[in-house]
Structure 1
């Protein structure tokens, strides 16, 4: 698992979640993990995602 793309964590998360066609009305919190560079995002509806970079795919969001 590679670090999420550079940029504002909430924007990176919102774009990755939307690109994956996953449910998230609004990202209410997004924090970049200082150890591995991934982002954990929480949505208004209660969904949570980890965002990271996957080689050949770019930013990917997986539901937690």
Structure 2
């Protein structure tokens, strides 16, 4: 196995893991319905989190330990 195929396998595994975790979160939120959230609101969580994490990682007012853990 060369380095390129290993990298591709790791990226595919990471992407698959993120999709599975997101689906589990969506199912949990649909079942629990916190605050009677609609399905549309639940589905908008992933894009919002994807936009939030890089901004938190760059924010100098956030403690370094939090920035390293989120970025």
Which bin holds the TM-score, normalised by the shorter protein? under 0.3
More helix by share: 2
More strand by share: 1
Give the alignment's TM-score, normalised by structure 2: 0.24
Higher relative contact order (CA 8 A, sep 6+): 1
